[in-house]
Amino acid sequence: MPTQNPPLRLNFSTRWQYAPAPETAKVEIKPSYDLFIGGKFSPSTEGKTFETVNPATEKPLSQVASATHKDVDRAVKSARNAYDKVWSKMPAKERGKYVYRIARMIQERARELSIIESMDGGKAIRESRDVDIPLVAAHFFYYAGWADKLEYAFPGRAPRALGVCGQIIPWNFPLLMAAWKIAPAIACGNTVVLKPAETTPLTSLKLAEIIQDCDLPPGVVNIITGAGDTGAAIVNHPGIDKIAFTGSTDVGKRIMSAIAGTNKKYTLELGGKAANVIFDDATIDQAVEGIINGIFFNQGHVCCAGSRLLVQESIHDKVIAKLQDRMQTLIVGDPLDKNTDIGAINSKMQLEKINGYLSLAGDEGANVWQTDCELPAKGFFCRPTLFLNCAQSHRVVQEEIFGPVLAVQTFRTPEEAVEKANNTPYGLSGGVWTDKGSKIFKITNAMRAGVVWANTYNKFDPTSPFGGYKESGVGREGGLHGLAAYLRVD
């Protein structure tokens, strides 16, 4: 490595103290929630329930119904009935009005939804308030607009709805994933059975209340809660025409083999291990912000997180010094405090998984560096972490960890950067930082990833398609591509 001047280090020994700024609005979380089927809430047929816990306090929030096979059958029948009798017959213009109504009601109740999202899932209120919930509304608005314009979207191709869609979503963006799934599906004239993840069911159930308040015809949207068994029962139900799944690559593979040989259509949005590539001509301070946003947004529980940093060797020391200084300023703690940058890890199980990788990184030969921030005594928290000096073969470089941990590698030439960026089983996203436009075009084209950001990271918009290559999944959500996924287009 060429000799470098020692980087200028900031002194963090006298840390700034912030007064707590907790979100104080009261929200209503009921002690228990039933399944939302056919426009009404009803208990699980066997009376089974499970607990949802606040990961920042470890205290239970509510007892939620666990849907059995019979409940899945009830929900699918109700969706079929609504499809045959009401939704597929309704003029598209009228359908669009309902979707607009849902969008507006989400905006009206944005604050309540943000707080519940942070309580149930652990994400910082700043993110649920400023990113998740505004994007939820934006998705409903965007797809509402398409409802009566499908012939313009696919001219001369007679687009038709698919029927009943089974939708299974993860815990990292609970309400946003529900919006990604429900909005295009119902705008296109399908009906749905949606299952949120078992650790984050509450905002989907709040959405069910909103849907009730909007007088959406009963059965158009059914929301049933439960764990993997409930998800598998949706996948295997013969009355389902399409499966839309976001979650782990393992479960995605299981779903794909379960529906092989059936007529079910599918979109699978699975894991990722994105490379954020920093060239020596990049604006370093901006790139450092991009690295921070790329991996520490939502505690790193992001399938498109920039979880691998590829930094050009000549600027490695400078970038790492600035990154470490910036990381020291990150506040980890109460998700409901507006100062918090990094909230709680979603569950005890996920924290154990991350901790497993922290010890593995050391065993594999990486240098594990963490900030020295204080962590709350209760709850599931993890310090922002760097794995320095990683090799391409390290498991922490190859496997999705889903936590606030960043694996760091260097490269010398653009070819080496591309080679390393593409050398994982995944292909969901990536980032490139350089001040040369030509380099942006060359590198982004060479990166085998569904979404590549240039001089920015983690930018989302309902008009923009999202999805992956290789083990990151099949199909696209968002934009026109996201509409096509819910239509038969001949």
Select from 68, 72, 55 the least CA-distant residue to 124: 55
Say how far apart CA 434 and CA 276 lie, in whole Å: 11
Please say if 269 is a catalytic residue.
yes
Exactly one of 23, 198, 269, 477 is catalytic; name it. Answer: 269
Give the H or E element holding residue 245. Answer: strand 242-246
Q: Which is nearer to ligand ADP, 267 or 371 (CB)?
A: 267
Least Cβ distance, residue 178 to ligand ADP (angstroms) = 11
Stretch that binds ligand ADP, among 119-127, 162-170, 316-324, 449-457 (CB under 6 A): 162-170
User: Is residue 353 involved in binding ligand ADP (CB under 6 A)?
Assistant: no
Among 211, 159, 147, residue whose Cα is nearest residue 184: 147
- Does residue 107 belong to the site contacting ligand ADP (CB under 6 A)? no
- Residues in contact with 216: Cβ distance below 8 Å, sequence separation at least 6, in sequence order: 39, 98, 102
Give the Cα separation of 246 and 171 in Å (integer).
10
Q: Quick one: 30 or 254, whose CB is closer to ligand ADP?
A: 254
Work out how close the CB of 477 gets to ligand ADP at its nearest, in angstroms, rounded to a whole number. Answer: 15
Least distance to ligand ADP from the beta carbon of 249, Å? 8
Q: Enumerate residues 185-204 that contact ligand ADP by CB under 6 A.
A: 195, 197-198
* Shortest Å distance, C-beta 245 to ligand ADP: 7
Measured from each CB, the residue nearest to ligand ADP is 231
Q: For the stretch 445-463, what's the b/e string if a residue is b when 16 or more beta carbons lie within 10 angstroms of its beta carbon? A: ebbbbbbbbbeebbebebe
* Closer of 210 and 232 to ligand ADP (Cβ): 232
Q: Which of 55, 159, 231, 290 binds ligand ADP (CB under 6 A)?
A: 231
Q: Which is nearer to ligand ADP, 248 or 444 (CB)?
A: 248
Instruction: Give the residue from 370, 431, 413, 366 showing the smallest Cα distance to 392.
Output: 366
171 contacts ligand ADP (rule: CB under 6 A): yes
Using rule CB under 6 A, residue 232 touches ligand ADP: yes
Residue 170 binds ligand ADP (CB under 6 A): yes
Binds ligand ADP by CB under 6 A, chosen from 43, 134, 145, 228: 228
Quickly tell me which residue has 């606030």 as its tokens.
404
Q: How far is the CB of 270 from ligand ADP (least distance, A)?
A: 8
Considering beta carbons, is residue 157 or 254 the nearer one to ligand ADP?
Answer: 254
**Per CB under 6 A, does 235 bind ligand ADP?**
yes
Shortest Cβ distance from residue 171 to ligand ADP (Å)?
6
State the residue for tokens 């200028």: 8
274 contacts: CB under 8 Å, gap ≥ 6: 294, 304, 305, 306, 307, 308, 426, 428, 429, 430, 431, 449
From 53, 116, 124, 168, residue interacting with ligand ADP (rule: CB under 6 A): 168
**Among residue numbers 236 through 295, which ones bind ligand ADP (CB under 6 A)?**
247-248, 251, 254-255
In sequence order, which residues have a C-beta less than 8 Å from that of residue 189 and are 6 or more positions away?
Answer: 87, 88, 90, 92, 95, 147, 160, 161
Q: Say how many residues touch ligand ADP, by CB under 6 A.
A: 17
Q: How far from the centroid of its chain's Cα atoms is residue 467's Cα?
A: 12
Please pick, among 188, 214, 303, 382, the residue that the annotation labels catalytic: 303
Q: Does 76 bind ligand ADP (CB under 6 A)?
A: no
Query: CA–CA separation, 217 vs 84, rounded Å?
Result: 12
Ramachandran sector of residue 215 (left: φ over 0; alpha: ψ -120 to 50; beta: rest): left
Q: How many CB atoms lie within 10 A of CB 81?
A: 16
Q: Which is nearer to ligand ADP, 250 or 415 (CB)?
A: 250
Q: How far is the CB of 254 from ligand ADP (least distance, A)?
A: 5
Residue 296 and residue 302: Cα distance in Å, rounded? Answer: 9
How many Å apart are CA 386 and CA 380, to the nearest integer? 19
Kind and range of the H or E run holding 192: strand 191-195
Residues that bind ligand ADP (CB under 6 A): 168-171, 195, 197-198, 227-228, 231-232, 235, 247-248, 251, 254-255
Q: What is the set of active-site residues?
A: 269, 303
